[in-house]
Amino acid sequence: MIPVRDDLRVLEGYHSPQVDVDVRLNTNESPLPPPDAFRDALAAELSRVEWHRYPDRAATRLREAIADWHGVDPSMVFAANGSNEVLQTILLAYAGAGRRVATFEPTYQMHAQIARVVGSEVVEGERNADFTLDPAEMRRVVADHDPHVTFLTSPNNPTGLVEPAERVTELLDLANGLVVADEAYAQFADWTALELLDEQRPLVVTRTFSKTWSMAGVRLGYAIGPTWFVDDLEKVVLPYHLDAMKQLAGCVALRFVDDMNDRVRLIVSERERLAAAMATLPIDVTPSGANFILFRPTTIAGREVWQHLLDRSILVRDCSGWPRLNDCLRVTVGTPGENDAFLTGLKEILE
């Protein structure tokens, strides 16, 4: 056996068990497939691909389409294979060995994970017991560690809480380094940091097609930020990293914005229905601006509730063993039928 890099030996990979169940509510995907018209349009486009040629290295049409949708210039858009690859590229460019990356825990585990893999030191700030972020803690982290990159996830995963706009602007005032607003779930919330973007400000926003767009299978994500930021990422990313199929899938998807918005509205109304029903049960529910809900049963251990749900062929995310999330479970909002099955199971277990 060849020894792996010393600093990687203590790391574990990303774990999200994929169990075969009837009701899968564990990975925050869309419960609905994309519209048939999307599939047909994409199939027609794919038949015209010049397969013997490398794809457009600058992903020009895709970046134009994304920019158009958000009302920004294409030179402010960087696209990659899922927003995880966007995050990795950001950390390769601005973090890496000898640099510090700050997170506020609990939050999306991949921020710290990717930061460590690229050799950075991770500084973990702490959230309050209700998972909100105290500005004093932000000041402490920035003053003590002067991070090169600081992450805020809004809505946060796995808590679902939306970060108030003041929190992001306060952090921008404090920080010398880059501030990354991970907005994988922003379309389910009522606020986005996109409105704060400015060429003079070290703020970038990351988004994904995985959650809202019914396109987790495609692996497509992007960042919007100042043009100097996009230029920096181009120095790091592999040539032709975005294949021709993916560029087309993104372009075609953006012709179906109305269908996507319909799906978002359905999920948000189902989320509110779930949250209201869950509030009548012996559980603590964290208010969510995303397509999932974090909850903590108060009468039975979280892990036990997870197992009883699984016995009913309902899979939710078991966060009960994660640091700072004792007894917590996270349920993805599914179709109305899936949500009914979850609620029925949960009631039986807790009553």
Ligand X SMILES: *Cc1c(COP(=O)(O)O)cnc(C)c1O
SS3 207: strand
Is 210 near ligand X (CB under 6 A)?
A: yes
SS3 77: strand
- What's the order of all strands across the beta sheet hosting 283-285? 23-25, 314-318, 329-332, 292-297, 283-285
End-to-end CA distance of the chain: 53
Q: Which stretch binds ligand X (CB under 6 A): 78-86, 127-135, 231-239, 275-283?
A: 78-86
Is 182 near ligand X (CB under 6 A)?
A: yes
Is 106 near ligand X (CB under 6 A)?
A: no
**In the numeric block, which tokens belong to residue 72?**
């920004």
Q: Which of 108, 188, 213, 295 binds ligand X (CB under 6 A)?
A: 108
Would you give the distance in Å from CA 61 to the centre of its chain? 24
Is 159 near ligand X (CB under 6 A)?
A: no
**Run of H or E including 4:** none
- Contacts with ligand X by CB under 6 A: the residue count is 12
Q: Which is nearer to ligand X, 125 or 345 (CB)?
A: 125
Is 153 near ligand X (CB under 6 A)?
A: yes
Is 213 near ligand X (CB under 6 A)?
A: no
Q: Which is nearer to ligand X, 108 or 131 (CB)?
A: 108
Q: Which of 42, 59, 65, 84 binds ligand X (CB under 6 A)?
A: 84
Q: CB burial class (10 A; 0-12, 13-18, 19+) of residue 174?
A: middle
Measured distance CA(231)–CA(93) in Å, rounded: 10
Q: Which is nearer to ligand X, 89 or 341 (CB)?
A: 89
Is 221 near ligand X (CB under 6 A)?
A: yes
Residue 309: closest CA among 39, 19, 63, 104: 19
Is 175 near ligand X (CB under 6 A)?
A: no
Is 160 near ligand X (CB under 6 A)?
A: no
Q: Which residues of the shown chain bind ligand X in the complex (CB under 6 A)?
A: 28, 82-84, 108, 153, 157, 182, 184, 208, 210, 221
